[in-house]
Amino acid sequence: MSVASARTGHSNRWVQLVLGIICMASVANLQYGWTLFVLPIQHQWGWSKAEIQVAFSIFILLETWLVPFEGWIVDRIGPRWMVLAGGVGTFLAWYVNSKATSLGMFYLGGAIAGFAGGAVYGTCVGNALKWFPDKRGLCGGLTAAGFGAGAAITIAPIRAMIQSSGYQHTFLFFGILYGVIIVIVSNFIRAPRVEELPDVSNIKVLQSSEDVPPSQAVRSPIFWIMYLMFFLVAAGGLISAAQLAPIAKERGIADATVVIFGLSMPAIVAALTFHNITNGVGRPLNGWISDHIGRANMMAIAFGIEAIALGAFGFFGVTAMSFIVTDGLVFLFWGDIFSLFAATVGDAFGRKFVTVNYGIMYTAKGVASLLVPLGNVLTHATGSWHAVYAVGCGMNVVAALLGFFVLKPVIKARLARPATEPAFAEGEVGRRHAVG
């Protein structure tokens, strides 16, 4: 690679990262903004909240489980057309919601939104992993965090417009706005060429020299070790998060007021705000650390701290401040599953099929959701929250131990093995030996 092309590639890839984050921010409110519309829809039509929320369940189901399928297409045709389709889908979903006069139409809107959200999410994370083999943790994390940040900066204007102009006008306005932004950006988003990749010497973590297709990746033990870890951490955090509001109520924190930086606010609002921030910050921060100390090492540390934070929240989060701080810590080390596993999949299975390979890994999030009702069962069976947090803590301890004692040696053994077989595709990134 010439110096000139390397320079072009290196400056260009940050533009690609920003474009991906813009797209992520533009689809974020399909997910995080929905809650603002539920009550206005209920007031307008008189349906129950549960009936309306079916649309959101449909969205999450499709958003999660279509990612492998969308990733498979992206790895073949590139990111542009999938992001374009995601942009059109985003507009259509909000448009359908703005015109909906029946639950069925909202469910259709949820289905379209699920396709669009998954298309943009999977594509942009995958593209960041392709452009930044030397900074996969940081850039995968920044892209995933863009999803939350995009929602955070537009929640206030959406809420204001719903109050001033009604939810239907708001759906239409933001549908057009987000759709146009994504469609325009899709014209500039692309996967890297081989000569645009960074120099091998810049990479500090072990990486595969092979591009492993999904059919081979899912036959590999390392894939299922990671899948199990993803599942354990996602489920452990979620079953605990499900108990957040009832615990706050029982401990008398829901009605308490705290003063932070001179601002007085309800403790539960402070907790929700703080954990939304830590949930976002943890993704690039822990991903960035993993770029330097190795993925398995960081997973062991992060999930170990997550276990301690869950235990501390469950057993000691009895005052407003301890509740807010321990809850924030739980999410600081929970959100990083979306950067650490994405980066590790890229390292272990190569660049070419990373969108589909990580898409399959990402479905562990959906499987983890199926375990959430276990928290209610445990609480009812034992009559205490403690069992829920003990289980959540235990799941993270298991994930941390798996990371250090199983994943780390397996990564080293797999990636340090001499290449006796031909690569499945062009192995343009050399084998690297460094921290696991």
Partner 1 sequence: MPTELPVRTRSTQASELELIALVSLLPWCVSLLLACHVPAIAQAFVLMGQFG
φ and ψ of 199, to 5 deg: -65, 140
Nearer to partner 1, 194 or 370 (CB): 370
Q: Long-range contacts: 256-262, Cβ < 8 Å, 24+?
A: 256/320, 257/320, 258/320, 258/321, 258/324
Nearest approach, Cβ of residue 363 and partner 1 (Å): 6
* Nearest Cα to Cα of residue 351 among 137, 126, 198: 126
DSSP H or E run through 137:
helix 136-165
| Burial (CB count <10 Å: 0-12, 13-18, 19+), residue 255 | exposed
Considering only residues 32, 106, 274, 358, which one is a binding residue for partner 1 as defined by CB under 8 A?
Answer: 32
The residue within the footprint of partner 1, chosen from 19, 25, 60, 400 (CB under 8 A), is 60
For strands 257-260 and 263-266, give the pairing. Answer: antiparallel
In the complex, the smallest distance separating the C-beta of residue 201 from partner 1, rounded to whole angstroms, is 31
Q: How many residues are listed for the chain in this entry?
A: 436
The reply to whether 218 sits near partner 1 by the rule CB under 8 A is yes
Closest-CA residue to 105 (of 113, 115, 97): 97
Q: How many helices (H) and strands (E) does the chain have?
A: 20, 2
One character per residue 164-183, x = contact with partner 1 (rule: CB under 8 A): --------------------
Q: Of 37, 178, 333, 334, which one interacts with partner 1 (CB under 8 A)?
A: 334
Whether the CA torsion 41, 42, 47, 48 is positive or negative: it is positive
- 8 A C-beta contact, residue 238 and residue 368: yes
Instruction: Tell me which H or E stretch contains 303.
Output: helix 295-316
Segment contacting partner 1 (CB under 8 A): 157-165, 177-185, 193-201, 208-216? 208-216
Q: Applying CB under 8 A, does 107 fall inside the site for partner 1?
A: no
The interface region with partner 1, picked from 89-97, 210-218, 308-316, 321-329 by CB under 8 A, is 210-218
Q: According to the binding rule CB under 8 A, does residue 59 interact with partner 1? A: yes
**Closest distance to partner 1 from the beta carbon of 2 (Å):** 33
Subset of 340-399 contacting partner 1 (CB under 8 A): 356, 359-360, 363, 365-373, 376
279 binds partner 1 (CB under 8 A): yes
Residue in 94, 167, 338, 389 binding partner 1, rule: CB under 8 A: 338
CB-wise, 108 or 203, nearer to partner 1? 108
The Cα–Cα gap between 96 and 92 comes to 6
The DSSP code for 264 is E
- 242 contributes a contact to partner 1 by CB under 8 A: yes
Half-sphere exposure of 118 toward its Cβ, with a 13 Å CA cutoff?
30
> Per CB under 8 A, does 54 bind partner 1?
yes
Please say which residue, 17 or 241, places its beta carbon nearer to partner 1.
241
∠ CA 158-266-60, nearest 5°, is 45
List the structure tokens of 278: 């830590």
Number of residues counted as binding partner 1 (CB under 8 A): 51
Buried b (16+ CB within 10 A) or exposed e, 194-224: eebbbeeeebbbbbbebbbbbeebeeeebbe
Q: Does 62 bind partner 1 (CB under 8 A)?
A: yes
Give min distance, CB of 213 to partner 1, in A.
5
Cβ of residue 264: shortest distance to partner 1, in angstroms?
A: 25
The interface region with partner 1, picked from 164-172, 207-215, 286-294, 387-395 by CB under 8 A, is 207-215
By CB under 8 A, residue 274 contacts partner 1: no
In the bound complex, what is the minimum distance in angstroms from residue 370's beta carbon to partner 1? 6
Of 132 and 227, CB closest to partner 1: 227
Distance in Å, CB of 21 to partner 1, minimum = 18
How many other CB atoms sit within 10 Å of the CB of residue 176?
A: 15
Shortest Cβ 305–partner 1 spacing (Å)? 18
Taking the least distance from each CB to partner 1, the nearer of 76 and 169 is 76
Q: In the complex, which residues of this chain contact partner 1 (CB under 8 A)?
A: 31-32, 34-35, 50, 53-54, 56-62, 64-69, 72, 213-216, 218, 234, 237-238, 241-242, 279, 331, 334-335, 338, 356, 359-360, 363, 365-373, 376, 424
